[in-house]
Chains A and B, each alone.
Chain A
Amino acid sequence: MKENGGKWEKFFKWINGETTIDSVILENSRKKRFAKRKLRHQKAKFIALRLKHSKRRIQEIICIIVAVVFIGILLKTASELPTCGKPDNPVNNEVSERYLEKGVEETGSINLVSGMILDYRAFDTFGESCVLFTAVICVAMLLKRDKNNIDPIEDQELKEDEEIKNADGSLILKFVARLVIPFIFLYGIYVILNGHLSPGGGFSGGAIIGAGLMLYSTAYGQENTRRFFTYETFKKVSATCLLIYCFSKGYSFFTGGNHLKNIIPKGIPGNILSSGLILPLNICVGIIVACTMYGIYSFFTKGDI
Chain B
Amino acid sequence: MILDYVLLIFLILCAIGTTITKNLLDAVIIFMAYSSVMAVIWALLQSPDLAITEAAVGAGVTGILFFITLKKIHSVKGTRD
Min Cβ gap A129→B in Å is: 15
A70-101 interface mask toward B, CB cutoff 8 Å, 1 = contact, 0 = none? 00000000000000000000000000000000
B2 part of interface (Cβ distance < 8 Å)? no
A153-180 interface mask toward B, CB cutoff 8 Å, 1 = contact, 0 = none? 0000100100000000000000000000
B50-81 interface mask toward A, CB cutoff 8 Å, 1 = contact, 0 = none? 01110011001100110011001000000010
Residue of B nearest to A201 (CB): B49
A212-256 interface mask toward B, CB cutoff 8 Å, 1 = contact, 0 = none? 001000000000000000000000000000000000000000000
In Å, the complex CA distance between A208 and B72 comes to: 24
In Å, the complex CA distance between A113 and B49 comes to: 8
In Å, the complex CA distance between A204 and B51 comes to: 9
Is B56 touching A208 in the complex (CB atoms < 8 A)?
Answer: yes
Residues of B within 8 A of A297 (CB): 61, 64-65, 68
Residue of A nearest to B57 (CB): A207
> Could you tell me how many residues of chain B have their Cβ less than 8 Å away from some Cβ of chain A?
15
A-B contact pairs, 13 of them (CB 8 A): A113-B49, A199-B48, A199-B49, A201-B49, A203-B53, A207-B60, A208-B56, A210-B61, A211-B64, A293-B61, A297-B61, A300-B65, A301-B68
In Å, the complex CA distance between A241 and B48 comes to: 26
Residues of A within 8 A of B49 (CB): 111, 113, 199-201, 204
Q: From DSSP, what is the main secondary structure of chain B's interface residues?
A: helix
A296 part of interface (Cβ distance < 8 Å)? yes
CB-CB under 8 A for A300 and B72, given A113-B49, A207-B61: yes
Residues of A within 8 A of B48 (CB): 199-200
Min Cβ gap A220→B in Å is: 16
Is B52 touching A191 in the complex (CB atoms < 8 A)?
Answer: yes
Min Cβ gap A114→B in Å is: 8
Contact-residue bracket for chain A: 20 to 34
Is A211 touching B61 in the complex (CB atoms < 8 A)?
Answer: yes
CB-CB under 8 A for A199 and B52, given A207-B57, A207-B60: yes
Residues of A within 8 A of B72 (CB): 300
Residues of A within 8 A of B51 (CB): 199
Residue of B nearest to A210 (CB): B61
Min Cβ gap B12→A in Å is: 25
Residue of B nearest to A293 (CB): B61
Residues of A within 8 A of B64 (CB): 211, 214, 297
CB-CB under 8 A for A200 and B61, given A300-B69, A300-B72, A301-B68: no
CB-CB under 8 A for A204 and B53, given A199-B48, A301-B68: yes
List which B3-59 residues lie within 8 A (CB) of chain A. 48-49, 51-53, 56-57
In Å, the complex CA distance between A131 and B68 comes to: 22
Residues of A within 8 A of B57 (CB): 207
Known contacts A297-B64, A297-B68; 6 further A-B pairs (Cβ under 8 A): A160-B80, A199-B51, A199-B52, A200-B52, A203-B53, A207-B56
Residues of B within 8 A of A296 (CB): 65
In Å, the complex CA distance between A64 and B51 comes to: 42
Interface centre among A160, A204, A208, A297 (most CB of B within 10 A): A204
In Å, the complex CA distance between A95 and B64 comes to: 39
Residues of A within 8 A of B56 (CB): 204, 207-208, 211
CB-CB under 8 A for A300 and B68, given A199-B48, A210-B61: yes
In Å, the complex CA distance between A297 and B65 comes to: 7
Residues of B within 8 A of A207 (CB): 53, 56-57, 60-61
Is A211 touching B60 in the complex (CB atoms < 8 A)?
Answer: yes
Residues of B within 8 A of A300 (CB): 65, 68-69, 72
In Å, the complex CA distance between A157 and B64 comes to: 19
